[in-house]
């Protein structure tokens, strides 16, 4: 055989034996916990949906905060306004699940009238 044919066959066989880019499994990076974690707006919306499903139609959003990483505390005031009644919802920001609820009945304390 001529040397040109040998080189041609050599390149043909080696090209067929190497994997293509389509065959290679490219690992996908796993998202960081910060990218997966629940944000402020999502915590407020999740709290509102939970209260609506639980029958608290007239609950008013008061505030939301993150007492610990990936833990959200969302507080809603209950009717009547100014009664001091509220409900707090604690959410796991990674799993997006309700962890705990806390309610306060609200006791109004008025000063007794002054005695002459």
Strand-pair partners of 86? 77, 104
pLDDT above 60 (res 67): yes
- Cα distance between residue 88 and residue 105, in whole Å: 12
Q: Assess whether pLDDT exceeds 70 at residue 72.
A: yes
* Residue 111: per-residue pLDDT: 43
Mean pLDDT, rounded, for 72-96: 91
Q: Which residues of 30-45 are buried (b: 16+ CB within 10 A; e: fewer)?
A: eeeeeeebbeeeebbe
CATH code linked to domain 35-104: 3.10.450
Work out the number of other CB atoms within 10 angstroms of the CB of residue 99. Answer: 13
The whole-model pTM stands at 0.61
Other CB atoms closer than 10 Å to residue 88's CB: what's the count?
Answer: 17
């Amino acid at each position: 055989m001529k040397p040109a044919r040998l080189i041609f066959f050599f390149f043909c066989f080696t090209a067929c034996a190497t994997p293509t880019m389509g065959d290679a499994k490219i690992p996908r990076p796993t998202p960081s916990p910060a990218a997966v974690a629940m944000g402020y707006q999502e915590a407020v919306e999740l709290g509102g949906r939970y209260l609506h499903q639980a029958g608290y139609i007239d609950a008013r959003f008061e505030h939301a905060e993150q007492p610990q990483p990936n833990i959200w505390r969302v507080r809603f005031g209950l009717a009547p306004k100014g009664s001091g009644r509220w409900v707090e919802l604690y959410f796991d920001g990674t799993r997006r699940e309700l962890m705990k609820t806390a309610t306060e009945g609200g006791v109004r304390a008025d000063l007794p009238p002054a005695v002459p």
